[in-house]
């Protein structure tokens, strides 16, 4: 019984109380644990931000060191996981592979997490933070047909991830600080975003008391979609298509406005941000700086800027408050760092991982009830069964 309020897409429904991320869509504010994203992107690093999301406070130097060594303790992935990896064709999309491998971790770490024990929860968190970048890097190695790399605890978290993706056998890998810093910044900007589609998925799956790894695997699948994290790959593919088509951005803006055409301007619009996306502002500036420092001239960046300008001058986009989102310029940076297009959403997943884990832990710690929305039934009224011969 009771009255059911319909809210398709949960546009106005709060699903939980959370102390992790604050977001004000009208003002373009984003804060992790009270710290503005602009300050974190500028001054912090991804290792620290992972700790902040998880523990609620920035670490002291000693805590940061311990956190890193705890992660290193769990950074070996069972050799049997490579059999699962190798069963995929090299043409498989890395996000599908990543979701499967993440889910498979359940089989290799079968002990259920005791949610009453902070220590147990922490161990589950660092286990996943340690193994996930290994799996993510392996999806790239698989796609490229390259031998797999393993974690090197001498390297920082981001350097290690980069090295596992790109180190060639018997060759030193040059690690340009410009590249590592850029990657670090992007990971920080993606680290949490309150109750977005993938995070809500992680919480909903976990609300049935499903384990952490299986819940996160569902989050990876949710993130894959082109309306969510998959948009970063779509943006760069769109920009390349516009370029091949002669670079007439107005034509593509008009196409996005045409209600008879399914095409949307990828990397534009957001459910919550109605003025600007603070992450997009930071990333746009970073894209300019990074390409400049690396001496890369990518026509896609010019097209992106022209496209943004044309859209922002257009009544359709203005009246609907559609602005570039986090995915609009991030792909251009990933491309400049030598990351293949199909890997862009995997990069997003590595960034979002600490957010997903922190949200899962918060949900279980708060002992939230199982997530179970209602519906309004619009099907057939009661009718009697008809025997096969009489149909
Ligand atoms: N291009 C053209 N029209 C758009 C776009 C777009 N990118 N985004 C929204 N609209 C229109 C939409 O057609 C609707 O028009 P009308 O009022 O005439 O029906 C209006 O704007 C409101 O859009 P909506 O689809 O009702 O808004 P939503 O909150 O349900 O969807 C969104 C948000 C992000 C899914 C959507 O803006 C979109 O599809 N954007 C493109 C994909 C994208 O960039 N996704 C990344 C999101 S940000 C980070 C992340 O999650 O990864």
Q: Summarize pLDDT for 122-174 with one digit per residue, the tens.
A: 999 999 999 999 999 999 999 999 999 999 999 999 999 999 999 999 999 99
Model confidence at 109, pLDDT cuts 50, 70, 90, reads confident
- Ligand 1 centroid to residue 107 C-alpha, Å: 38
| 327 is an active site residue | yes
Catalytic residue among 184, 277, 314, 327: 327
- ipTM of model over 0.95: yes
Measured from the CA of 196, which atom of ligand 1 is nearest?
A: 51
Measured from the CA of 230, which atom of ligand 1 is nearest?
A: 52
Q: Calculate what percentage of the chain has a pLDDT beyond 90.
A: 98
Q: Calculate what percentage of the chain has a pLDDT beyond 70.
A: 100
- Ligand 1 centroid to residue 203 C-alpha, Å: 23
Residues 334/232, Cβ–Cβ less than 8 Å: yes
- Ligand 1 centroid to residue 266 C-alpha, Å: 9
What pLDDT is stored for residue 319 in this prediction? 97
Measured from the CA of 270, which atom of ligand 1 is nearest?
A: 34
| 270 is an active site residue | yes
What pLDDT is stored for residue 1 in this prediction? 61
- In a 13 Å sphere around the CA of 223, the CA atoms on its Cβ side amount to 36
Q: Could you give the C-alpha distances from 15 to 35, 207, 225, 271, in angstroms and in order?
A: 23, 11, 21, 16
Number of residues that this document lists for the chain = 391
State the chain's maximal CA–CA distance in angstroms.
77
The ligand 1 site (C-beta within 6 Å) comprises: 9, 196, 227-229, 231, 256, 264-271, 320, 322, 325-327
Vertex 161: Cα angle to 174 and 155 (nearest 5): 65
Q: Round the average pLDDT of the chain to a whole number and report it.
A: 96
340-364 residue pLDDT tens: 999 999 999 999 999 999 999 999 9
- Ligand 1 centroid to residue 91 C-alpha, Å: 29
Q: Is the pLDDT of residue 328 over 70?
A: yes
Q: What span, in angstroms and rounded, lies between the C-alpha atoms of 249 and 268?
A: 14
Q: What span, in angstroms and rounded, lies between the C-alpha atoms of 177 and 318?
A: 39
- Ligand 1 centroid to residue 71 C-alpha, Å: 38
Token pair recorded at residue 46: 């991804």
Q: Which residue's alpha carbon is nearest to atom 15 within ligand 1?
A: 320
Q: Which residue's alpha carbon is nearest to atom 26 within ligand 1?
A: 271
Residues 186/330, Cβ–Cβ less than 8 Å: yes
* Residue of 142, 161, 132 lying closest to 74 (CA atoms): 132
Q: Which residue's alpha carbon is nearest to atom 41 within ligand 1?
A: 266
Catalytic residue among 192, 193, 270, 314: 270
- Ligand 1 centroid to residue 268 C-alpha, Å: 7
Q: Which residue's alpha carbon is nearest to atom 36 within ligand 1?
A: 269
Phi, psi for 268 (deg, rounded to 5): -120, 140
For a mutational test of ligand 1's pocket, the pick from 259, 269, 274, i.e. the residue with the most ligand atoms closer than 8 A to its C-beta, is: 269
């Amino acid at each position: 019984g009771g009255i059911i309020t319909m809210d398709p897409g949960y546009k106005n429904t709060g699903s939980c109380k959370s102390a992790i991320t604050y977001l004000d869509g009208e003002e373009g504010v984003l804060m992790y644990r009270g710290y503005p994203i602009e300050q974190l992107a500028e001054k912090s690093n991804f290792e620290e931000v992972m700790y902040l999301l998880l523990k609620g406070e920035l670490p002291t130097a000693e805590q940061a060191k311990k956190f890193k060594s705890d992660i290193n303790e769990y950074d070996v992935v069972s050799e049997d996981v490579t059999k699962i990896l190798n069963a995929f064709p090299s043409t498989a999309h890395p996000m599908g592979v990543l979701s499967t491998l993440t889910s498979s971790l359940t089989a290799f770490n079968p002990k259920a997490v005791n949610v009453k024990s902070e220590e147990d929860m922490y161990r589950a968190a660092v286990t996943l933070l340690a193994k996930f970048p290994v799996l993510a890097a392996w999806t790239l190695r698989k796609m490229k047909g390259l031998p797999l790399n393993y974690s090197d605890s001498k390297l920082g978290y981001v350097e290690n991830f980069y090295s596992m993706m790109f180190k060639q056998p018997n060759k030193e890998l040059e690690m340009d600080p410009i590249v590592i810093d850029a990657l670090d910044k992007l990971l920080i900007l993606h680290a949490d975003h309150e109750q977005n589609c993938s995070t809500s998925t992680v919480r909903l799956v976990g609300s049935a008391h499903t384990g952490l790894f299986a819940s996160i695997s569902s989050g990876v699948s949710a993130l894959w979609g082109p309306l969510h994290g998959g948009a970063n790959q779509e943006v760069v593919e769109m920009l390349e298509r516009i370029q091949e088509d002669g670079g007439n951005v107005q034509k593509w803006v008009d196409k996005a406005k045409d209600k008879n055409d399914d095409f949307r301007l990828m990397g534009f619009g957001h459910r919550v941000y109605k003025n600007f996306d603070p992450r997009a502002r930071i990333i746009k500036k970073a894209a300019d700086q990074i390409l400049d420092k690396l001496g890369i001239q990518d026509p896609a960046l010019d097209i992106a800027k022209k496209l943004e300008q044309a859209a922002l001058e257009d009544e359709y986009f203005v009246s609907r408050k559609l602005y570039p989102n986090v995915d609009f310029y991030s792909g251009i940076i990933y491309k400049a760092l030598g990351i293949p297009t199909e890997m862009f959403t995997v990069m997003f997943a590595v960034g979002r991982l600490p957010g997903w884990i922190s949200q899962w832990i918060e949900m279980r710690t708060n002992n939230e009830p199982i997530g179970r929305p209602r519906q309004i039934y619009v099907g057939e009224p009661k009718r009697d069964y008809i025997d096969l011969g009489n149909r």
